[in-house]
Amino acid sequence: MMDLQVVISLFFDGQSVDDLSFMPKQTKLWKIHGSLAWHYDVEAGKVIRTTPDEKDILIYPSTLKYDQSRKQPYTALGDRLTNFIKQDDTILIVCGYSFGDDHINERITTALSMNPLGHVYVLLYDIKWENDKKEYTFTKDSSLAKIAISNSKISVFASRSAVIGGVYGNWKLKREPDKDDSINIDKYFDEDAYSNIDDEKGKKLIQGWTGEGELIIPDFSKFVEFLKSMIVSN
């Protein structure tokens, strides 16, 4: 008796990626810059998943990045993103991407121009630590700020500032929250603490409530906690 062993290789199906109705009840994760397990099988003419090695299909930071993004499977993944944004009333929430790749930015902005009701919300974690001091890198002169200022369909929510409706500004609560309000606000916003300041004569004064603070949901872990708080338990 002879045992028959059949080896099945998982392969990339560009048509299923492009089909917006494919497995509608499943949450799908598309890795636009490739995978450590993707290889191009010359004989089969397909991209398959196998053991990672030096022949992995990935896009690395280089001068060839744009050219590589125009090949399969990246064109299929890019088309999937574009077609999704073109749908009516589409909202795209971006977390972990700072719009540093022109070829991806172009796809997003072009698709938005074809969708009158589409919108992109960017959660930008812009905190940088320098000598144990917290700094915020998102400013009005940032490249992403300029993109959002020129396109009102793109809103950027950074830690201390934002661009909404093409207007740049700092986060500030309209009124001082009461105890009950603070419980909910603390899930996404960290108010500045009262601080001591000196008056003209050097006397210590306490600076009162300013309404300013830090939006914490651009931190992915805080964003997940915020989403979990919105889930109603049975």
DSSP letter string, 41-75: ETTTTEEEE----TT--B--SSTTHHHHTTSTTHH
CB 160 within 8 A of CB 169: no
Beta pairing partners, 136: 127
Do β-strands 119-123 and 154-157 pair in parallel, antiparallel, or remain unpaired?
Answer: parallel
Predicted confidence at residue 29, as pLDDT, reads 73
CB count in 10 Å sphere of residue 154: 25
* Collapsed DSSP state (helix, strand, coil) of residue 117: coil
Residue 215, judged by CB atoms within 10 A of its CB (0-12, 13-18, 19+), counts as buried
pLDDT value for 52: 64
173 and 184 Cβ atoms separated by less than 8 Å: no
pLDDT in 10s for each residue of the chain, 234 residues: 556 555 566 666 667 777 778 778 877 777 666 666 677 777 777 777 777 666 656 555 555 555 555 566 777 778 888 988 998 889 999 998 889 888 889 989 999 999 999 999 999 999 999 988 999 999 999 999 999 999 999 999 999 999 999 999 999 999 988 888 888 899 999 998 876 665 566 565 556 788 899 999 999 999 999 999 988 776
Helices (H) and strands (E) in the chain, counts: 7, 13
The predicted pLDDT at position 10 comes to 67
Question: What confidence score (pLDDT) does residue 68 get?
Answer: 52
Q: Which of 139, 136, 145, 141 is nearest to 164 (CA)?
A: 145
pTM recorded for the entire structure: 0.76
